[in-house]
Structure 1
Amino acid sequence: MAVRALLVWLTILVLAVANGALREALLTPRLGRNTSLLLSGILLSALVLLVARISVGWLKADSANTSWRVGALWAGLTLVFEFGFGSLVQHKTGSEMLQPYLFRDGNIWPVVLVVILIAPRVCYRVR
């Protein structure tokens, strides 16, 4: 199950990168930073829920406990990727990497992380 959960998370990662590219290329120039960050967060949350809904059966997340573990794995991988990429590739400081967690300028990143955490559980329950 862990390998399947990792493969699904990689799909979410690709969608998150595409979402960010869409935001920077189309939304921000037309709507401004605040609105584009808000819409991008909502869109990514919806995409995560959609991916979780589609994959929950394939993941064999067949219990509340298992679905919570999948969500915790996804959230953990997201944080490791975010801080690893931010520090190693983008050379951001810790302060810069923590800015999205402050709910400033329309950024709802902490809400997106909560959605990533709970999406498998919510979709298991709905299923």
Structure 2
Amino acid sequence: MILVKYIFAWFGMMILAILNGIARDALYLPLMSASAAYQISTVILLLLFSVYFRVLTVRWPLASANQARAVGGIWLLMTLAFETGLGRYATGLSWQEIMQNYNISDGNLWVLVPVWVFIGPYLFFRIQARTQASRRAP
């Protein structure tokens, strides 16, 4: 049941990502290069996701490390399917253009987002487990 909640929680991440993109385009893209604006936007999104992961793990604690890994894996697959589907079929980008977003050697930090989506649930599970353990310890 908890996995279903986390699958639906993924849509909250997409809302955060869309709002972050709107803020980027409206607020700081006009003030700097596209590359710098996208780098800043990626870092902001990672921070937003971190807060969101923390809220989720407090509200719906994961039962085990394996469950946390499963959430990360499901979220990663959903994220990559959304990104490639939107990029390829909704905006008409070529596969080369989509893959360019993952080229960190060109300064594209976007690859950090799917990595964080994958490992974040596990890391926040570990943080939550340590927090609970320290509260129980005399």
The normalised TM-score by structure 1 is: 0.92
* Counterpart for residue 75 of structure 2: 74
Q: CA RMSD in A?
A: 1.4
**One-letter code of the match for 1:25?**
A
Consecutive unaligned residues in structure 1, runs of 5 or more: none
Q: Which has the larger radius of gyration?
A: 2
Deviation at 1:28, TM superposition (A): 1.2
CA contact (8 A) 2:72 2:120 kept: yes
Q: Which runs of 4+ in 1 moved over 6 A?
A: none
The answer to whether the 8 A contact 2:35-2:108 is kept is yes
Measured in 2, the distance between the counterparts of 1:55 and 1:100 equals 28
Distance, in Å, in 1 between the alignment partners of 2:24 and 2:114 is 18
Counterpart of 1:31?
A: 32
Cα distance, 1:34 vs structure 2: 2.1
- Could you tell me which residue of structure 2 aligns to residue 43 of structure 1? 44
Q: Which moved more, 1:27-36 or 1:73-82?
A: 27-36
Q: TM-score, normalised by structure 2?
A: 0.85
Do residues 96 (structure 1) and 97 (structure 2) align?
A: yes
Superposed, 1:1-127 pairs within 5 Å as 1-103=2-104, 106-127=107-128
Q: Deviations over 1:20-69 (max 9, x none)?
A: 11111211111221221111111111111111110014444121111011
Q: What percent of counterpart residues are identical?
A: 30
Contact 1:61–1:70 under 8 Å retained in 2:
no
Equivalence for 2:132? none
CA contact 1:19–1:44 (8 Å) conserved in 2: yes
Structure 2 gaps, min length 5: 129-138
Is the Cα–Cα contact under 8 Å of residues 33 and 106 in structure 1 kept in the other structure? no
Q: Which has the higher contact order (CA 8 A, sep 6+)?
A: 1
Task: Return the alpha-carbon distance in structure 1 between the equivalents of residues 110 and 81 of structure 2.
Answer: 15
Contact kept? 1:28, 1:36, Cα under 8 Å: yes
One-letter amino acid matched to 1:110: V
